[in-house]
């Protein structure tokens, strides 16, 4: 039998590439910051990941053409709130443009004035150490200044849809 990679379409075909990336389940977060004009700015991000334990670094990416790209590029701090399985509505809320995405959303202020979403299951408060333009995205690297977590199941994104995790039995 021929391995699927032998006859694979060109990864330059966006729909094929995106479909393959969708096989990798990710967590769902809200990345936020306080804009120079005082506005709280945030958006749904599933590109968040750890980068280094020593020093503690995380990364995430944002489409260069995003309406908030310029504001995030100028910030010195950002926060990441890892959403719980029950926060699907918030994930959808922060995925769409709105003048004030934090209006009516329970949150509190963290370091640098960055909003932290209440009822999330983990929070990271970061200092931006690097922003690089790579392809059609900006890659942000942040030094974690403070982080915390509470028990709970994460919201996940897989194959273009939201879901939640379940533990596997060791016998499986």
pLDDT for 20 = 87
Tokens of 168: 């596997």
Residue ranges of domains in the chain, CATH in brackets: 26-158 (2.30.110.10)
Is pLDDT at 23 greater than 90 in this prediction?
A: no
pLDDT digits (tens, 9 = 90+) for 29-59: 999 999 999 999 999 999 999 999 999 999 9
Residue 12: both structure tokens together: 């330059």
Q: What is the mean pLDDT of residues 63-72?
A: 94
Q: What is the pLDDT of residues 79-110, one digit of tens each?
A: 999 999 999 999 999 998 777 899 999 999 99
Q: Does residue 118 have a pLDDT over 90?
A: yes
Categorise residue 72: left if φ over 0, alpha if ψ from -120 to 50, beta otherwise: alpha
> Nearest to residue 43, comparing CAs of 83, 96, 87?
96
For the segment 6-25, the average pLDDT, to the nearest whole number, is 87
Q: How far apart are CA 77 and CA 87, in angstroms?
A: 24
């Amino acid at each position: 039998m021929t391995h699927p990679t032998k006859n694979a379409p060109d990864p330059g075909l966006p729909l094929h590439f995106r479909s393959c990336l969708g096989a990798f389940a990710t967590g769902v977060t809200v990345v936020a910051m306080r804009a120079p004009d005082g506005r709280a700015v945030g958006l749904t991000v599933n590109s968040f990941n750890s980068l280094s334990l020593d020093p503690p670094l995380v990364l995430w990416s944002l489409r260069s053409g995003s309406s908030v790209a310029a504001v995030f590029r100028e910030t010195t701090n950002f926060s990441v709130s890892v959403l719980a399985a029950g926060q699907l509505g918030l994930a959808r809320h922060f995925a769409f443009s709105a003048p004030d995405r934090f209006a009516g959303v329970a949150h509190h202020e963290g370091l640098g004035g960055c909003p932290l979403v209440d009822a999330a299951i983990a929070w990271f408060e970061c200092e931006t150490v690097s922003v690089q333009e790579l392809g059609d995205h900006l890659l942000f690297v942040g030094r974690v200044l403070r982080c915390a977590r509470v028990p709970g199941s994460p919201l996940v994104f897989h194959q273009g849809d939201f879901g939640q995790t379940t533990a596997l039995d060791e016998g499986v």
